Structure 1
Amino acid sequence: MKLLPPALLIAALSSGATQAAETELWRLDCGTIAVKDMNAFSDNFAYRPAPKTLTNSCYLIRHDGDYLLWDTGLPLALLNAPTDPEAPMSATLTRDLPAQLADIGVTPDRIGRIGISHGHFDHTGQAATFPQATLMIGQPDLAAMEETPPPFGFDPATLNHWRTGNGAVEVVTGDRDIFGDGSVTMLSMPGHTEGEMALLVRLEKTGPVLLSGDVVHFHEQIGAKSVPAFNMSRAESLASMARLEEVAANLNATLVIQHDAADIAKLPAFPQSAK
């Protein structure tokens, strides 16, 4: 067999290589949640009793010409709803997802996939706005939608389109490489719910970005090892919190805690994107 000269061999190998997909990430505003006492998120009473406002963030990821929406925020019924400072938790929404997508020229029908970090209503609220999208959700959380009554925080009606067989569903168990090239990966991190997921997005210029889902709700939880009493498992929650930190450290990734308002500034302000 005649061997190719090195220069021709390199050229031949290069011609068969696939070009890396262009990946882009936007942070979208999906509402706010006023919490009367931070200890609602701590089963070990780690905090001084004090109110805290959580942000509710969603994210749009472009993978070449494909669009993935990560979480769909609070329901439209809460659009411009007043908050009640005396309620344990009170949520409101100021802009819906289609209005924000219009700012960057993306119509709802272009969303090919919806990735759900977990089944709570503040992450599934506007899913029905994108009926053509394939729903990607952890298998235990999809199954929990059928329980009577459903677990705390679940609103099965938000996913009725997919639960009734009218929409495509991709059930996720374990970690899932969404596009098959390592650029966007759902990471299994149970505890808050049994199907809880985080999302790792690898960007060419920004580097890896790790979106927390509800593995943690704000940074203080990590140091205090505090777990909301409504989580499904304390042990799994702590293990997933540790994995979240380890992944961020090992990849030198930007960790974005989706409910922590302090982390909004870690990504460009909408309508700008991270690349």
Structure 2
Amino acid sequence: MRPRHVRKSQIVFAALMAFPALGAAQAADVELWRLDCGSIKVSDLSAFSDTFRYQGEARTLTDSCYLIRHDSAYMLWDTGLPATLLGAAQEASPMAPTLARTIREQLAEIGIEPDKIETVGISHNHFDHVGQATDFAHARMLIGKADLEGFRAEPPGFGVDPALVKPWLDGSARVETVTGDRDVFGDGSVVMLATPGHTPSSYSLLVRLAATGPVLLSGDTVHFEEQFANHGVPPFNFDRAESLASMDRLEDMAKALKATLVVQHDASDIAKLPAFPASAR
């Protein structure tokens, strides 16, 4: 029988080897497009701070989602607002969402058939991030385990609409739940990062590009770039402490990797990436 300390060291080594290869050199050709997946006019921004920071302010949030090409495989990161909101008027209300064009329309512009999408990665289960998912029901869905369970809760939580992911709930489409970090293609080039707090199992995404360098897509870890500095947490977040820890994780990772950190709902921050139909390589 081997000494106990040898067995323990083997276990630790195996755990380290299983951790996503965040610093590994990638061989795949990776390309990233920023898609327009809607906008949300917020008339009272105080809903996004539990410290009353934004009293009397209004702002229009972008609803961006992303297409990633990994060699010949395609992945969507979030699927934006539902197509039923095409052309919706942004009337005076606390939050008024609208959609100008669908993901399918944008894919057609760059010559990509919808059935080319093999993977749909979801940052979290709110309706503005899964709205057009059923257009890609042939694809496997990657989603945090607790957030998938949130679709089945009775009643569903804030911002959760199970009808938007029905094929994955009824078993007619393939779903894989994620806990911890998930190396999507197994080479460290595209990694789902556990950043809970906004929802029980929210995710962000690391995309390593050869020319641009690493890109971090925030999910809803924050809604505006300045929330990293002011530690702004919306009162509707699931867990305040986890929200702050996830902010710290993304900021620390951005510094360590010299990555471009993109806040998906911040209309000015998403301009760090090329405007569609241009892509980042």
Map residues 63-74 of structure 1 onto 2, 5 A cutoff: 63-74=70-81
1:48 is displaced (CA, Å) by 4.1
Match of 1:14 in 2: none
Match of 2:190 in 1: 184
Taking the aligned partners of 2:172 and 2:188, their CA distance within structure 1 comes to 29
Find 1:34's aligned residue among 41, 59, 67.
Answer: 41
Taking the aligned partners of 1:103 and 1:155, their CA distance within structure 2 comes to 29
1:92 is displaced (CA, Å) by 0.1
Taking the aligned partners of 2:238 and 2:138, their CA distance within structure 1 comes to 31
Map residues 128-139 of structure 1 onto 2, 5 A cutoff: 128-139=134-145
Match of 2:263 in 1: 257
Find 1:145's aligned residue among 144, 148, 151.
Answer: 151
1:136 is displaced (CA, Å) by 0.4
Match of 1:240 in 2: 246
SS in 2 for 1:46: coil
1:243-266 deviation line (CA, Å, top 9, x unaligned) = 111111111100000000011221
Residues 35 and 198 (structure 1 numbering): CA distance in 2 closer, same or farther, change over 3 Å? same
Taking the aligned partners of 1:106 and 1:225, their CA distance within structure 2 comes to 39
Which segment is superposed worse, 63-72 or 213-222? 213-222
1:65-109 deviation line (CA, Å, top 9, x unaligned) = 00000000000110011011x211000000001000001110110
SS in 2 for 1:261: coil
Map residues 10-49 of structure 1 onto 2, 5 A cutoff: 20-49=27-56
Which segment is superposed worse, 163-172 or 18-27? 18-27
1:47 is displaced (CA, Å) by 2.5
Which segment is superposed worse, 216-225 or 121-130? 216-225
Map residues 1-275 of structure 1 onto 2, 5 A cutoff: 20-84=27-91, 86-275=92-281
Q: CA RMSD in A?
A: 1.1
Taking the aligned partners of 1:145 and 1:100, their CA distance within structure 2 comes to 28
Unmatched 5+ stretches in structure 1: 1-17
Taking the aligned partners of 2:180 and 2:270, their CA distance within structure 1 comes to 28
TM-score by length of 1: 0.92
Residues 106 and 238 (structure 1 numbering): CA distance in 2 closer, same or farther, change over 3 Å? same
TM-score by length of 2: 0.90
Taking the aligned partners of 1:131 and 1:22, their CA distance within structure 2 comes to 26
Taking the aligned partners of 1:20 and 1:56, their CA distance within structure 2 comes to 31
- Kept in 2: contact 1:46–1:224 (CA 8 A): no
Runs in 1 of length 4+ with deviation above 3 angstroms?
none
Taking the aligned partners of 1:142 and 1:36, their CA distance within structure 2 comes to 30
Unmatched 5+ stretches in structure 2: 1-24
